[in-house]
Structure 1
Amino acid sequence: MIRIGNASGFYGDRFSAMREMLTGGPLDVLTGDYLAELTMLILGRDRLKDPGRGYAKTFLRQLEDNLGLAKDKGVTIVTNAGGLNPAGLADALRELADRLGLDVRVAHVEGDDLLPRAGELDLGEPLTANAYLGAWGIADCLKAGADVVVTGRVTDASVIVGPAAAHFGWARDDYDALAGAVAAGHVIECGAQATGGNYAFFTEHSFGVPGFPIAEIHADGSSVITKHDGTGGVVSTGTVTAQLLYEIAGPRYAGPDVTARFDTLRLDDDGPDRVRISGVRGEAPPPTLKVCLNRLGGFRNEVTFVLTGLDIEAKAALVREQLEAGLGQRPPREVRWTLGRTDHTDADTQEAASALLHCAVKDPDPTIAGRAFSGAAIELALASYPGFHVTAPPSDASPYGVYTEAYVDAARVPHVAVLPDGTRVDIAKAGRTLALSAVDEPELPEPLPDGPVRRAPLGLVAGARSGDKGGNANVGVWVRSEAAWRWLAHTLTVTELKRLLPETSGLEVRRFVFGNLRALNFVVEGLLGEGVAAQARFDPQAKALGEWLRGRHVDIPEELW
């Protein structure tokens, strides 16, 4: 097998994780995922200020302390921290190695950056335009003896799939093995979310700060998800199920190298903090590559009014009327109000007696979203509702980004491995492709017979994990017994989800069934507007959407208690 650990799930994750993983136990490869849709926008703005930047500077600082340790332990490092400038990061790593007196072979993968060809590819005029490349460039770098491989925008799982493919010598059409590695990669690429972080049933465990995950991948693509002995957190079929459902859509999980069928995989306990993933089937990849596009959308600002005590609705109506009048003949292009009724009757603290009225504005003109809005809000301080105050004064307008996705013919996207000796290798396109198609919904289990029920939160029997994909949100819901699955599969329909989560009622919602995981996945189209960078709602990445759902009350059969 090959032991692949992960030390970063996002740009800003635990800085010490790299050393913890290198010193905590045996590893062959250490990976790090630093990129997300929002991160690409951040790096794009960095590149505007300095064309030599555009990569994750945190990774370089981590290696100042850990590059020699990794070399001593024989651990290869593979990461997408190259962002928009993998060649620049590779050069910086060589300079670092020279300064530290280390003989380290550095390679990188490029070709994903399509910004110079945006017009040719009908991608508009974005700030960033990056195709999701696959694992084969990484594999070629490793086979050429690289100690460190940095990439730009590859799929999150590719930093795991590439080392496995190189280690076992998989062919391009070893779809089942590749799909198994994709499943393992999808589980560990978000770091501690696989080891108990953000876990619905966290109260059942006492685990402190979770350690980071490891995938022990075997030649057939099966794997065991685990962590270093003695580290915090927990690895269970529940934590692995939660992460498998994270930010996906249907059973076909498409990538540039293989489409993995998540409806075929099986999870089994393999001992304490060990979960085996097996049986994953793979299909040829689709003929197109997904492209992440970011553009600057304009400028935004916000203020939160605190409404305390009596007449909350009337106070909200008054300040809204006053502020909108104060914005004059040229109000911001978008003005969005939300009232959070966090207040309690007869509260014993002032905070518990208060509600929060949030106003967010967007406009192409920074003056309209900035000084004009801020002034209109603060001028009301002595002229509005009783008890007027705000959580913080509004500031100058800040730029916001808009994420969209596009798809281009894979044959039009270069994929280049730049080996440690500088040799450039063009990575061949997939020899066979298969257009994505919907999976027929499987036959549902027999429903539970009618019996007594109790009104209680859904989360007493069901776990959930939710997240974002551009403007869409997904929420995966799973249960832990066959009886609960027989109930959930027939109870939590699209109609019921919309009833429980009224914010979704006017949107298209799709449901996917994963009987092998006793799980349902819902994709809510457009809930997040123009994506996380545009801050369209209270929870802009839908991270707590699943917890809201678990908190809603439903009629639960008594036999499930």
Structure 2
Amino acid sequence: MTMLAADPDVIRIGNCSGFYGDRLSAMREMLEGGQLDVLTGDYLAELTMLILGRDRMKDPSLGYAKTFVRQIEDCLGLALERNVQIVTNAGGLNPAGLAEKLRKIAADLGLDAKIAHVEGDDLLGRAAELDLGAPLTANAYLGAWGIVECLNAGADIVVTGRVTDASVVVGPAAAHFGWGRTDYDALAGAVIAGHVIECSTQATGGNFAFFKELGDLGRPGFPIAEVRRDGGSVITKHHGTGGAVTVDTVEAQLMYEIQGARYAGPDVTARLDTIQLAQQAPDRVLISGVTGEAPPPRLKVSLNTLGGFRNEMEFILTGLDIEAKAELAQRQLESWLPVRPEELSWTLARLDRPDAETEERASALLRCVVRDPDPNKVGRSFADVAVELALASYPGASFTSLPGNGSPYGVYTPGFVDATEVPHAAVLPAGTRVDIAAATETLELADVAEPELPEPLPTSGTRRAPLGTIVLARSGDKGGNANIGVWVRTDDQWRWLVNTLTVDRIKELLPETAPLIVTRHVLPNLRAVNFIIEGLLGKGVAYQARFDPQAKGLGEWLRSRHIDIPSELLP
């Protein structure tokens, strides 16, 4: 056990990054804004691993988050002065390289900083042996125990590669409290705290459905988890920062990018259906009651491949005969192409209105996307033909921009390997390497049976209104799948929602999901249902199958759809 906080029963863990590109000043804001014991940063999304993979192709010494380097150059002295440990996955594909870079920064600044790193997640060299194909990147999701070893060895900064997003919170909590590997309830509670704060300001009002209720959302503060010895936590933020921490802002992040009621990780499977939320005070939300189970025997692996090359063209169609104009442009472009790409798709966005008062409101957008393994088939041969249509097609022909030469795109797929095949290791500040054993107690992942539903709400009448009048939602991506978490605030609203918003109703409200497999998971403690929509995002975010490739707006589209709502539930 390593005491990382003055309070033996609470450790105060803040977050300063939710993605590679988050607010650069956040590390300093968090260190200067109030008391912290540990500061974490999450820099790795599925798309980020592809970006770092391409960096590494150009320069093998790269592959880590360069913005984190700039933050440490600015803030290392402040962190050491305030005795705040930093734990981050900014190492990406090259945690050892980042650790060495940080040692040089510390030396240049004349600071004595103990740097450690965690490695073993990179399986690229063994991809074929492990039946993972021939990817550009192949990284297993490691857990928290390598981080624990580094902190127990006195590290001021712990750099990891691909660990689960919550592991950067679980590791410091486990080190501080001396948790064992089978303290599943405590570990699960820390996983939930980590999941809430890992996406930075999404827990303090960012991307929040009822944003108009919040006060100062101009510059939301970053979140803090006060993790307790039993695994419970209070989510909060520094005093005087923007945004808000409410039961609903916390639940919004809880519903983000989840699957079923079991939230699996390499150290523990947390039961989302056991979570209890309570508003303790302004900007203080208690998370309690989380139970945990043994982790599954296999680790998830993030696989990115270069899928080929893509290009696109967007035509502006104005005024009358929109569909006929679209048909002409499509027929001309396809017949003029010297060679047809492997994939060629069209989307017509009818943003136009009749008798519009502005030209923009009278216009629709026709988008053509092409993909092919051969860059020549989507490069100038496509771009030149698209431009040649300018004076030879529909009346008023114009484009939002001219197409370029095409660019490579990536494809994300998840893989799975036995945890015993992954060489998880902690490299301590002194350079000593400590191997981290895989979990010896495991449990195959299985769906939780749907709980008994409450009786439908009796009603004297309904009124047609947007679903979002009373319903909150948050959506996101997991590879090619999308999730929409939907919840309400009162028991009566819950009785109506859970008996109304079925899979069939979702397919009615969101017709694009009708041909796809949609699964519903019910979470009564949170008055929430979560929908998984398989294949909506094609082959993942880098594939850009939709104009909203990460499904960020999917929940807001659902909330905007009109439905018959009991009159007594409406304002």
2:333 maps to which of 311, 323, 348: 323
2:422 maps to which of 413, 416, 430: 413
Partners of 1:530 and 1:372 in 2: how far apart?
A: 25
Q: Establish whether residue 235 from structure 1 lines up as the match of residue 242 from structure 2.
A: no
Shift of 1:206: 2.5
Q: Establish whether residue 314 from structure 1 lines up as the match of residue 324 from structure 2.
A: yes
Partners of 2:54 and 2:248 in 1: how far apart?
A: 38
What residue in structure 1 maps to residue 157 of structure 2? 148
Shift of 1:380: 0.5
Letter in 1 for 2:545: A
Shift of 1:106: 0.1
What residue in structure 2 maps to residue 133 of structure 1? 142
What residue in structure 1 maps to residue 283 of structure 2? 273
Q: Establish whether residue 477 from structure 1 lines up as the match of residue 501 from structure 2.
A: no
Partners of 2:557 and 2:308 in 1: how far apart?
A: 31
Q: Which runs of 4+ in 1 moved over 4 A?
A: none
What residue in structure 2 maps to residue 492 of structure 1? 501
What residue in structure 2 maps to residue 100 of structure 1? 109
Equivalences for 1:2-151 in 2 at 5 Å?
2-151=11-160
Secondary structure of 1:124's aligned partner: coil
Equivalences for 1:443-522 in 2 at 5 Å?
443-522=452-531
Letter in 2 for 1:274: R
Secondary structure of 1:41's aligned partner: helix
Partners of 1:349 and 1:514 in 2: how far apart?
A: 46
Q: Establish whether residue 205 from structure 1 lines up as the match of residue 214 from structure 2.
A: yes
Q: Deviations over 1:366-420 (max 9, x none)?
A: 1111111101100010000111100000001100000001100000001000000
Partners of 1:518 and 1:497 in 2: how far apart?
A: 17
Q: Establish whether residue 185 from structure 1 lines up as the match of residue 194 from structure 2.
A: yes
Partners of 1:246 and 1:350 in 2: how far apart?
A: 38
Secondary structure of 1:263's aligned partner: helix
Q: Establish whether residue 298 from structure 1 lines up as the match of residue 308 from structure 2.
A: yes
Letter in 2 for 1:203: K
Shift of 1:119: 1.1
Letter in 1 for 2:255: L
CA contact (8 A) 2:459 2:568 kept: no
TM-score (norm 1): 0.99
1:432 maps to which of 427, 436, 441: 441
Partners of 2:301 and 2:461 in 1: how far apart?
A: 51
Secondary structure of 1:294's aligned partner: strand
TM-score (norm 2): 0.98
What residue in structure 2 maps to residue 532 of structure 1? 541
Task: Report percent identity of matched pairs.
Answer: 71
Shift of 1:494: 0.1
Partners of 1:366 and 1:284 in 2: how far apart?
A: 47
Letter in 2 for 1:224: V
Partners of 1:45 and 1:451 in 2: how far apart?
A: 60
1:559 maps to which of 561, 565, 568: 568
RMSD value, Cα: 0.6
Q: Deviations over 1:417-439 (max 9, x none)?
A: 00000000001111200001110
Secondary structure of 1:367's aligned partner: helix
Q: Establish whether residue 347 from structure 1 lines up as the match of residue 356 from structure 2.
A: yes
Partners of 1:397 and 1:530 in 2: how far apart?
A: 18
Q: Deviations over 1:50-92 (max 9, x none)?
A: 1100000000011111010101111000000000000000000
What residue in structure 2 maps to residue 159 of structure 1? 168
CA contact (8 A) 2:480 2:541 kept: yes
Partners of 1:348 and 1:16 in 2: how far apart?
A: 43
Shift of 1:489: 0.2
1:392 maps to which of 385, 395, 401: 401
2:262 maps to which of 249, 252, 259: 252
Q: Deviations over 1:146-182 (max 9, x none)?
A: 0000000000000000000000000000000000000
Partners of 2:214 and 2:47 in 1: how far apart?
A: 32
Partners of 1:209 and 1:349 in 2: how far apart?
A: 33
Letter in 1 for 2:296: P
Partners of 1:500 and 1:383 in 2: how far apart?
A: 39
Partners of 1:121 and 1:180 in 2: how far apart?
A: 32
Letter in 2 for 1:500: L
Q: Establish whether residue 175 from structure 1 lines up as the match of residue 184 from structure 2.
A: yes
Shift of 1:209: 1.4
Secondary structure of 1:301's aligned partner: strand
Shift of 1:107: 0.1
Letter in 2 for 1:25: G
Letter in 2 for 1:243: Q
What residue in structure 2 maps to residue 225 of structure 1? 235
Secondary structure of 2:390's aligned partner: coil
Partners of 1:5 and 1:180 in 2: how far apart?
A: 16
Partners of 2:454 and 2:108 in 1: how far apart?
A: 62
What residue in structure 2 maps to residue 365 of structure 1? 374
Gaps of at least 5 residues in structure 2 are 1-9
Secondary structure of 1:379's aligned partner: helix
Partners of 1:382 and 1:408 in 2: how far apart?
A: 56
CA contact (8 A) 2:98 2:159 kept: yes
Shift of 1:450: 3.2
Partners of 1:194 and 1:480 in 2: how far apart?
A: 17
Q: Deviations over 1:118-147 (max 9, x none)?
A: 111011100000000000000110010000
Partners of 2:109 and 2:328 in 1: how far apart?
A: 64
Partners of 2:118 and 2:234 in 1: how far apart?
A: 28
Shift of 1:347: 1.2
2:386 maps to which of 377, 384, 397: 377
Partners of 1:372 and 1:197 in 2: how far apart?
A: 42
Number of residue equivalences:
560
Partners of 2:475 and 2:535 in 1: how far apart?
A: 15
